[in-house]
Amino acid sequence: MSHRSTPPTGVTTGSDSAADAAISHAGYSQQFKRTLKSFESFAVAFSFISITTGLFSTYGTVLSSGGPAGIWTWPIVGAGTLMVALVYGMLASRIPLSGYSYQWASRLASPVLGWWFGWVSFAFLAIVAVAVDYGLAQAALFPLFGWTYTPLSGALVTLVVLLVQMVLIIWSTPITTKINNLAVSAEVIAMIGLTLLIAGFAIFGGHAEWSNLTSTGVASGDGYFGWLGPFMLSALLGAFTLVGWESAANLAEETINPKRVVPRAMVRAILVSVIIGMVFLIVVTAALGTDVAGISASSAPVAQVIENVVGAGMARAFLVVVSVAIFACGLVIMVSCSRLVHAMARDGRLPCSTALSRVPRATGGPTWATVVAAGASILIVLAFSGNADALSQLLGAGTLMPAILYAGTVALYLGTRHKYRPQPDDFRLGRWEKPVVAGAVVWLLIELSIFIIPSDFRTAQLYALGSLVLGAIVFAFVWATRRDRLTAEVGTEVDEL
């Protein structure tokens, strides 16, 4: 059914026999070292979420669309996302393989459906990598170095960042992991420290304006359902930020004891992000002071608030940490995308599968799969290079795509739940399963409505539609040239784990 390859010299499968058995039963050989422990798995999920990335990139959009009060969509999105993650946790524990939704759909439903899950995941990862690296350029690097932002300069910096990330991933997984661990630790410490610092300066320095927490600022109240419409658009803040936690599941084959570690890593990453992010948002919003309109017009409003409250020197120091955190976020996204491409290729379900599935060294990434992941993002950058509103449009597309993927995966769980045969070491919710799944469904319906009904997200919708059209072309080629691989039955053993 799938491509079997000889494991590279020096591969150690770790001590988790259940996870190794899942790989063997799936028809694969171990190609990566199991080096990710609990913290590393959490760090992967937390780094993809990267609250600094999301808050620095989307806070300006919230100020203009829903006003400062739009921050209160954050806990709503957090609660909905947590329920979706718990559903993912049950699937990740059941089938601990790289490729996450692609593998789950292939083995629980059909390989053809799995292929489409894989394609949507690829389209999501490709564009969200661009959105994150654009955010790095516009919201962090340009303010840090005092550069004047233009669409062309932003695109050029983003291209350089993508190429550096690609080289690091191909070169060394351990080094990539160390960079990510350092970035996560620095991000948590910096976010907590900066929150306390801004709060102290704002309160005792007279900058705090607590009425901002309920202010609509420059946002218009003429949207659908009055101000409720603009408020709903502010959900972009959490919906863009609180995604990617499932990357921990995509690295299951590199994780020690993934059946237990991965679900907990995803949940913990979301909880930590929601709590720290909410406190930071409250403090920063109060620290807007009375010049809400002026800061709303800034291309980097969070950086502007920090500079206004604690001074240019402290703002510059924090932007260094922010830049590292956002860079690590983009790095993890590309790692996740490369692993997805590798997973689909080793099943022979992509053109040039032999090259795309090759992992030259156990301590490095899959070379050509990483090149494809980076190449797709580079093409997207070129398409947006002359767009002055590129970041906000990329944010919309990077939010709609995961919402579609999450909805499809939860539907997959509901449709295949009857096949589930519990194992002692599975991650389960017990009596909470039904209300959690119901809550996840309700939230996803709300989220999809927010990002499909308003005209504000037409670019995002066009990207989603365009990616499906392109996917149909690729699928037709694969069907014509690799139909036997595309329709081959996958192993049933993994289904019973």
Distance of CA 432 to the CA centre of its chain: 26
pLDDT in tens, 394-407: 877 888 889 999 99
Show the tokens assigned to 337.
């995308």
Q: Are 138 and 391 spatial neighbours (Cβ–Cβ below 8 Å)?
A: yes
Among 113, 170, 371, 340, which residue's Cα sits nearest to residue 249? 340
Q: Are 264 and 100 spatial neighbours (Cβ–Cβ below 8 Å)?
A: no
- In this prediction, residues 381-404 reach a mean pLDDT of 83
Angle between helices 312-346 and 173-204 (to 10 degrees): 150
Least confident window among 119-133, 143-157, 334-348: 143-157
Residue 400: partners with Cβ closer than 8 Å, 6 or more residues away: 451, 452, 457, 460, 461, 463, 464
- Nearest-angstrom CA–CA distance, 314 and 299: 19
Taking 90 as the threshold, does the pLDDT of residue 471 lie above it?
yes
pLDDT in tens, 22-75: 777 777 777 677 878 899 999 889 988 988 878 887 898 889 888 898 999 999
Show the tokens assigned to 389.
């509103």
- Nearest-angstrom CA–CA distance, 60 and 72: 15
- Computed on alpha carbons and rounded to an integer, the radius of gyration of the chain in Å comes to 22
| pLDDT tier for residue 6 given thresholds of 50, 70 and 90 | very low
Taking 50 as the threshold, does the pLDDT of residue 456 lie above it?
yes
The reported pLDDT for the residue numbered 360 is 85
Identify the structural domains of the chain with CATH numbers, from first to last. 17-23+31-492 (1.20.1740.10)
Q: Are 339 and 346 spatial neighbours (Cβ–Cβ below 8 Å)?
A: no
The reported pLDDT for the residue numbered 409 is 95
Which pTM value belongs to this model?
0.84
- Nearest-angstrom CA–CA distance, 226 and 233: 12
The reported pLDDT for the residue numbered 8 is 38
- In this prediction, residues 299-303 reach a mean pLDDT of 83
pLDDT in tens, 205-214: 777 889 999 8
CB burial string 123-159: b at 16+ within 10 A, e below: bbbbbbbbbbbbbbbbbbbbbbeeeebebeebbebbb
Taking 50 as the threshold, does the pLDDT of residue 5 lie above it?
no
H or E element, residue 312: helix 312-346
Taking 80 as the threshold, does the pLDDT of residue 1 lie above it?
no
Distance of CA 33 to the CA centre of its chain: 23
- Nearest-angstrom CA–CA distance, 340 and 373: 9
The reported pLDDT for the residue numbered 15 is 42
User: Following DSSP, what letter does each residue of 122-141 receive, concatenated?
Assistant: HHHHHHHHHHHHHHIIIIII
Least confident window among 126-135, 174-183, 222-231: 222-231
- Nearest-angstrom CA–CA distance, 83 and 89: 10
pLDDT in tens, 252-289: 888 888 989 999 999 999 999 999 999 999 999 999 98
Show the tokens assigned to 219.
């946002």
Token pair 């392109």 is found at 470
- In this prediction, residues 381-395 reach a mean pLDDT of 80
| pLDDT tier for residue 492 given thresholds of 50, 70 and 90 | very low
How wide is the angle at C-alpha 166 spanned by C-alphas 160 and 170, nearest 5°? 150
Q: What percent of the chain has pLDDT over 70?
A: 92
- In this prediction, residues 102-118 reach a mean pLDDT of 93
The reported pLDDT for the residue numbered 4 is 38
Show the tokens assigned to 3.
């491509």
pLDDT in tens, 147-180: 888 888 989 999 999 999 999 999 888 888 888 8
Taking 80 as the threshold, does the pLDDT of residue 422 lie above it?
no
Taking 50 as the threshold, does the pLDDT of residue 7 lie above it?
no
Taking 60 as the threshold, does the pLDDT of residue 223 lie above it?
no
Q: Are 124 and 431 spatial neighbours (Cβ–Cβ below 8 Å)?
A: no
- Nearest-angstrom CA–CA distance, 454 and 234: 12
The reported pLDDT for the residue numbered 367 is 93
Among 278, 274, 276, which residue's Cα sits nearest to residue 286? 278
Q: Rounded to 5 degrees, what are φ and ψ at 255?
A: -110, 140
Show the tokens assigned to 44.
């992967």
